[in-house]
Structure 1
Amino acid sequence: MVEEGGYLSLWRGNGMNVTKIAPETGIKFLAYDQYKKFFDDTHSKLDIHERFIAGSLAGVTAQTIVYPMEVLKTRLALGQTGQYKSITDCARILIKNEGIFALYVGYIPNLLGIIPYAGIELTVYESVKKAYCQSSGKNPSEPGIFVHLGCGTISSTCGQLGSYPLALVRTKMQAHAIVRGGPHVSMHQHFYNIIREEGLFGLYRGFTPNCMKVVPAVSISFVVYEEMKNILGLTSN
């Protein structure tokens, strides 16, 4: 990548990534708090399975709204230097050449992956934080930055372990769509090809660099989320 486009090529598609992650994270946290109210208005007596359902629904809601941005991010990241003039240019070319439905390529495996990921991530985060607060005798809003950071790291890692194979297949489907004149490959075929050629461990190819990116990003987002709640005078349960 550096030889082809210089060191800045390592940030190719990052503008779209930042544009996507802001509304996605905001919608996810908002939806999670709203879905929890279906089970308990105080949020304090939710069982693990209720938190998991609320987290999964929040993830599905956020991903459905912002998914076209995910496709554009992948296209920009995989494109050559100078291939697209801007995010809007990438969207225009994609729709013109492949139709509007190209913005939802890989949506099904992404949806199947976000259900366990968001459910596990949010459930583990709140469960670990709650367990710590109960053992230390602190309120949920008092643990501190490092506790929130640790809880976020644990929850993000657990979520990634449970959903990464589907995220890998989603990316493969998005990348495969770039190949002109190539045969259509379904989600099941991608799974079969990976296992046949690389074995079960092939479903976790790229897991380490993904965790190096996702785990600190998610952990930091939880810290900022909790700190902003304290600044705004909102309570945690």
Structure 2
Amino acid sequence: MYTENKDKKGFEYIVKSLIAGGIAGSAAKTAVAPLDRVKILFQTSQPAYEKYQGSILGYFRALKDIQLSQGSTALFRGHSATLLRIFPYSGIKFMAFEQCKRVLIPTKEYNTGPRNFIAGSIAGCIASGISYPFDLIRVRLAFEVKSSPLSISQVCKIVYNEPNHLVKTKGTILNFYRGLTVSLVGMIPYAGASFYTYEMLKKRAMDISICRNDNPPPALNWWSTVTIGAVSGLIAQTVSYPFEVIRRHIQVSTINDTSKQSSFFGTAKGIFKRKGFKGFWVGLGIGYLKVTPMFAVSFYTYEYCKILFNIA
């Protein structure tokens, strides 16, 4: 029997993997919160910070600008909403991935790249769909550059009362899902590639241990887990980044003009018209700076929590 699937049907395993994933995601997002805020400002073409785009140094100048003009706490603006989103998102993502693996990879012989990619994509889409409103609120909070930012409740009220072209009315819960479609499309390569890369590199590392006649083969050490996690994040960010940029623009499109509600293709066309092809990659450098430690911390924390909770 494939030992990685041992007892995964049990309620205890599901709950513990959910909690482990939530802790992992929260730790990872906290580690990169300032970089995440600057990336959102760049992606959404915030006028006050466009001058910093185009170089690595610009990212650090933007961080310094935020700190000097808005205070150190502004580097974490929107982070409370991030944690509200990331705990259920990350917890559901890791738990769903384990359950998808249980079905798609019942034995070691089925542990292939495509099956891990499919399992990761399904898990990412499920988690994203459930937690998406928190992501939209977080982006709207991070987009604010005023010295007296709006609270979460104020942003929720504004978003809820914005007109919606689908239902032709104001005051609908659908406003909290603006950009969900492009999010789910982008999640397929993002989550799929991250779990595919992590599982395949982890499998390769374990195979090397077996070839060295370590009996039984040891668990990966911390630096191996961190390195594999970082590489998986870099690949995932690269293949899915344009979708993320489009999603961010859709999420903030109604801030200055409530009648401006762009579609996926309309938003993509607008980005290309203003900045050309490179507009879909704005902020990618800081994306790399962000995902390297984020995925490293996330996967390491998850593996550590699995050991701690005795579900490894």
The structural deviation recorded for 1:42 is 4.2
Normalising by structure 2, we get a TM-score of 0.70
Give the one of 182, 187, 190 matched to 1:114.
187
What amino acid does structure 2 have at the position aligned with 1:78?
Answer: F
The structure-2 alpha-carbon separation of the partners of 1:67 and 1:123, relative to structure 1 and needing over 3 Å to count, comes to same
Q: Which residue of 2 aligns with 1:123?
A: 196
What amino acid does structure 1 have at the position aligned with 2:139?
Answer: T
What amino acid does structure 2 have at the position aligned with 1:67?
Answer: Y
Moved more, 121-130 or 179-188: 179-188
Give the one of 137, 148, 162 matched to 1:82.
148
Q: How many residues align?
A: 234
The whole-number CA distance in structure 2 between the counterparts of 1:227 and 1:3 is 37
Q: Which residue of 1 aligns with 2:239?
A: 162
Q: Which residue of 2 aligns with 1:55?
A: 120
Q: Which residue of 2 aligns with 1:227?
A: 304
Percent identity, aligned pairs only? 29
The structure-2 alpha-carbon separation of the partners of 1:127 and 1:197, relative to structure 1 and needing over 3 Å to count, comes to same
Given that residues 162 and 258 in structure 2 are in contact (C-alpha distance below 8 angstroms), is that contact kept between their aligned partners in structure 1? no
The structural deviation recorded for 1:153 is 0.5
The structural deviation recorded for 1:165 is 0.2
The whole-number CA distance in structure 2 between the counterparts of 1:92 and 1:24 is 23
The whole-number CA distance in structure 2 between the counterparts of 1:23 and 1:68 is 12
Moved more, 55-64 or 181-190: 181-190
Q: Which residue of 2 aligns with 1:176?
A: 253
The whole-number CA distance in structure 1 between the counterparts of 2:280 and 2:162 is 30
- 1:31 equivalent to 2:108? Answer no
The whole-number CA distance in structure 1 between the counterparts of 2:258 and 2:91 is 38
- 1:13 equivalent to 2:90? Answer no
The whole-number CA distance in structure 2 between the counterparts of 1:169 and 1:141 is 43
The whole-number CA distance in structure 2 between the counterparts of 1:39 and 1:68 is 29
State the Cα deviation string for residues 80-108 of structure 1 (Å, max 9, x = none): 343423x2332133213443211011111
The whole-number CA distance in structure 1 between the counterparts of 2:159 and 2:273 is 31
Give the one of 147, 158, 178 matched to 1:93.
158
The whole-number CA distance in structure 2 between the counterparts of 1:177 and 1:44 is 50
Structure 2 gap segments, 5+ residues each: 1-65, 164-170
State the Cα deviation string for residues 170-211 of structure 1 (Å, max 9, x = none): 001111121224533221122122223323222111011122
Give the one of 287, 291, 294 matched to 1:214.
291
What is the SS of the residue equivalent to 1:185? coil
Structure 1 gap segments, 5+ residues each: none
What is the SS of the residue equivalent to 2:219? coil
Moved more, 142-151 or 171-180: 171-180
The whole-number CA distance in structure 1 between the counterparts of 2:76 and 2:219 is 36
What amino acid does structure 1 have at the position aligned with 2:309?
Answer: L
Normalising by structure 1, we get a TM-score of 0.91
The structure-2 alpha-carbon separation of the partners of 1:136 and 1:89, relative to structure 1 and needing over 3 Å to count, comes to same
The structure-2 alpha-carbon separation of the partners of 1:59 and 1:43, relative to structure 1 and needing over 3 Å to count, comes to farther
The structural deviation recorded for 1:3 is 5.2
Q: Answer with 1 or 2: which has the greater Rg.
A: 2
The whole-number CA distance in structure 2 between the counterparts of 1:219 and 1:113 is 21
What is the SS of the residue equivalent to 1:160? helix
The whole-number CA distance in structure 1 between the counterparts of 2:258 and 2:133 is 22
The whole-number CA distance in structure 2 between the counterparts of 1:42 and 1:154 is 26
Given that residues 141 and 226 in structure 1 are in contact (C-alpha distance below 8 angstroms), is that contact kept between their aligned partners in structure 2? no
Given that residues 230 and 291 in structure 2 are in contact (C-alpha distance below 8 angstroms), is that contact kept between their aligned partners in structure 1? no
- 1:134 equivalent to 2:207? Answer yes
The whole-number CA distance in structure 2 between the counterparts of 1:190 and 1:141 is 49
Q: Whose RCO is larger (CA < 8 A, sep 6+)?
A: 2
Moved more, 133-142 or 29-38: 133-142
